[in-house]
Amino acid sequence: MVIRRKDREILDLDKIESIIAGARYMHLGMFDENYPYVVPLHYGYEMKDGKLTFYVHGAKEGHKLDCLRKNDHVFVEIDCRLEKNIG
């Protein structure tokens, strides 16, 4: 991935974890055939040995899983309120 605004890039894992810990919602973006499919989710996470793992809940069947079974490439966007400049 190429970051266009290097001055806004956050590489410090403590800062990244602080952002994730302070947020409440994640938008999980998937592919639904030729179209994007985005689902808002509550989430948990684990940061272990510099590796970030997200945990989300869901049913054992449904459209979200159908999309993931067809194409497991996803993106996430995390909503957070920034009270001050953290970068």
Q: Which tens digit of pLDDT belongs to each residue from 47-63? A: 999 898 999 988 899 99
**45 vs 24, residue with greater confidence:** 45
Distance separating alpha carbons of residues 54 and 47, to the nearest angstrom:
9
The pLDDT, as a whole number, for residue 72 is 93
Across the range 67-80, mean pLDDT stands at 91
The pLDDT, as a whole number, for residue 79 is 81
Question: Is the pLDDT confidence value at 84 over 70?
Answer: no
Task: Return all residues near 2 (Cβ < 8 A) that are at least 6 apart.
Answer: none
Question: What does DSSP assign to residue 84?
Answer: S
The pLDDT, as a whole number, for residue 8 is 83
